[in-house]
Amino acid sequence: MTSLSAEPGRPPASPRETPAGRFRALRRPRRWLPALAAAALLAQMAAAMLATAVRQSPTIDEPVYVGTGVVYLYEHDLRHNPEHPPLGKLLIGAGPALAGAHLDTAFTGDQQEVGQHLLYASGNDAQRVLLAARVPVIILTLLFGLVVFAFARDLAGPLGGVAALALYAFSPDVIAHGSLATLDVPMAGFLLTAVWLLWRARRRPRLYLPPAGAALGAAVATKMSALAAVPVLLGLVALSVWASGRARGPVPTRRLLVLCVVSAAGVAVVAVAVVWASYLAVDPRLRWTAPGDVPPVGGLRGLATGWLPFPEAFRDGMRVQFAFEDRQWTGFLFGRVYLGSLWYYLPAALLVKTPLGMLALWAAGITALLGLSRLRPAAPYVLAPGAVLLAAAMTGARDLGVRYAMFIPIFLAVAAAGATLVRWRWAQVAAGALVLLVAVSSLRAAPYYLPYSNEAFGGPPKTHLHLHDSNADWGQELGALADRLRDRYPGEKVWLAYKGSGVPSYYGIEASDPLLVPPGEVHGLLVVSNSWIAKADPRLTPLTATSERVGEVGHSITIFRRP
């Protein structure tokens, strides 16, 4: 006979209080509600990402990754885009390869030209190839949503899992970059997967440590910026093994310390093996000739690069990345144009581009992780990797978008689940209301997720006043611009200052470049990418200042009329 449990201070329930079998049967389907909610959230996210992927023209970085990925698969040649490891580009290139995209193997341009040639000059349907390249990233983004749900459910139960997934699924930044053939979401997602597996390794280290190492290796094999998190995750390996050993009973401290070190080393070996495997998958013979523009790197950076246990192509890619960091880039924040970088750029950009309800739930979740004894052991896992990566990114030279901190909305979605465990009468109601606010803000922005900003900063129409580049205008609206010009301005003279990787003529846009002629010759429609406006180019500013603003396209491109 089953024993009856009772709450402290309350007598055991009598048999009469035990629900009848038919009532238990009625209650059983409730166990499926979190799964149904998760499926609905992911279906909504899939629809949003697919709709976005279908309508947008190539962003600035996409042709490089698409063309390089296809070259990897067709020609098994590592020569293009060494500044990023191969794994993410292999996944991106798999889409066009499966769709039968044609690659002109006789073309010998650089990595940017190869991508544009593949899309626009090889007999392919550019948008079809681009969509095929975006689909693998969309699939990965949805799978990482399952990781968010599972991780948060482990920490805070089914309700916490649903809340975390809702923040992830409605995040404008995750939707925007999860629907592009780029590397930021895949890297962050692989890293989250590794951390979740390390959390589970506290109970079953032998089962979860090897796949955690593989996920960590996948993150590094996708984007080199994941290297900053490697020491943190190896520390978490030791923490998980230590917790597992202590939970099993008395173990000599020295023996447990040795086990922690050996386990961390084993995870590192698996991660390194995955990176090597990604290069071998492209070219089993690892043929590599360093490009002539790979700069020499000295000092501590050069020493660290030389000691990395990765293929020479990876180390040369690191040298290219260091060269990028040594350049001065043009930044734009809150209407100010500047050269160089601002240490507070990424926090400020996240403040603009994150829904207000999400910001509140992040703060509540972090507080819960640090304050609730039940959640405190998880704080290093959920908070430390993102904090270290953010600190590293804040020292970077490129103030070009929150995509450099894409791990923040992904990791903090898990952290926000802790808000559902706060023992305050209205805590869950408040959390639900904030999630609803996030959903409303996200849905109102559709389909313009890339230029999203929250209501405190004016929403997507005003983002270009505060931020530029991949935060607002990344060259994604050529198709929409072509439709606008054809529908509203047929036959008019068009002058186009476009910042992007698309080819305007492919979309039917016949335009002249206003920067190639004296200002007095520019009359008619002046169409300008908002990123050009933000940079305050001295050749362009006099033209826009003496023109009438007559429209905009996708909160990304402004249309002027110049008499």
User: Tell me, what amino acid is at 311?
Assistant: P
Q: What ranges do the domains of the chain cover?
A: 477-562
Mean pLDDT of the chain: 92
What average pLDDT does range 271-292 have in this prediction? 94
Pairing mode, if any, of strands 524-529 and 494-497?
A: parallel
CB-CB contact of 534 with 509 (8 Å): no
Residues in Cβ contact with 428 at an 8 Å cutoff, skipping those fewer than 6 apart: 159, 420
- Residue 290: predicted pLDDT: 83
pLDDT band at 303 (very low <50, low <70, confident <90, very high): confident
- Residue 249: predicted pLDDT: 78
For residue 512, what is the DSSP state?
B
CB-CB contact of 263 with 238 (8 Å): yes
The three-state DSSP-derived secondary structure of 53-69 is HHHCCCCCCHHHHHHHH
What pLDDT, in 10s, does the model give residues 154-204? 999 999 999 999 999 999 999 999 999 999 999 999 999 999 999 999 999
- Residue 289: predicted pLDDT: 86
- Residue 322: predicted pLDDT: 92
End-to-end Cα separation, the chain, in angstroms? 90
**Does the pLDDT of residue 293 top 90, yes or no?**
no
Pairing mode, if any, of strands 557-562 and 548-553?
A: antiparallel
Q: Which residue in 225, 542, 277, 496 sits closest to 385, CA to CA?
A: 225
What's the Cα-to-Cα distance from 105 to each of 108, 118, 152, 316, rounded to whole Å?
8, 10, 47, 24
CB-CB contact of 156 with 413 (8 Å): no
- Residue 248: predicted pLDDT: 83
- Residue 366: predicted pLDDT: 97
Residues in Cβ contact with 108 at an 8 Å cutoff, skipping those fewer than 6 apart: none
pLDDT band at 39 (very low <50, low <70, confident <90, very high): very high
Helix (H) or strand (E) holding 517: none
Tokens 């008619």 sit at which residue?
A: 524
User: Tell me, what amino acid is at 198?
Assistant: L
Two structure tokens written together for 520: 């007095």
pLDDT band at 13 (very low <50, low <70, confident <90, very high): very low
Residues in Cβ contact with 246 at an 8 Å cutoff, skipping those fewer than 6 apart: 256
**Does the pLDDT of residue 493 top 70, yes or no?**
yes
- Residue 302: predicted pLDDT: 86
Tokens 């996920």 sit at which residue?
A: 215
Residue 119 CB neighbour total at 10 angstroms = 28
| Percentage of the chain modeled with pLDDT above 70 | 95
- Residue 174: predicted pLDDT: 98
Helix (H) or strand (E) holding 294: none
Two structure tokens written together for 432: 């639900």
- Residue 173: predicted pLDDT: 98
What pLDDT, in 10s, does the model give residues 348-368? 999 999 999 999 999 999 999
- Residue 339: predicted pLDDT: 94
- Residue 15: predicted pLDDT: 40
Helix (H) or strand (E) holding 32: none
CB-CB contact of 528 with 558 (8 Å): yes
What pLDDT, in 10s, does the model give residues 48-59? 999 999 999 999
252 phi and psi, to 5 degrees? Answer: -55, 135
What pLDDT, in 10s, does the model give residues 537-556? 899 999 999 999 999 999 99
Two structure tokens written together for 248: 């099993």
Residue 125 CB neighbour total at 10 angstroms = 12
Rounded to whole angstroms, the Cα distance separating 144 from 200 reads 16
What's the Cα-to-Cα distance from 29 to each of 15, 22, 23, 25, 153, rounded to whole Å?
23, 12, 11, 8, 18
Rounded to whole angstroms, the Cα distance separating 81 from 182 reads 13
What pLDDT, in 10s, does the model give residues 389-436? 999 999 999 999 999 999 999 999 999 999 999 988 788 899 999 999
Q: Which residue in 151, 66, 79, 144 sits closest to 108, CA to CA?
A: 79
What pLDDT, in 10s, does the model give residues 87-109? 999 999 999 999 999 999 999 88
Rg (C-alpha) for the chain, rounded Å, is 26
User: Tell me, what amino acid is at 549?
Assistant: R
pLDDT band at 83 (very low <50, low <70, confident <90, very high): very high
Is cis: bond before 504, omega within 30 of 0?
Answer: no
**Does the pLDDT of residue 369 top 90, yes or no?**
yes
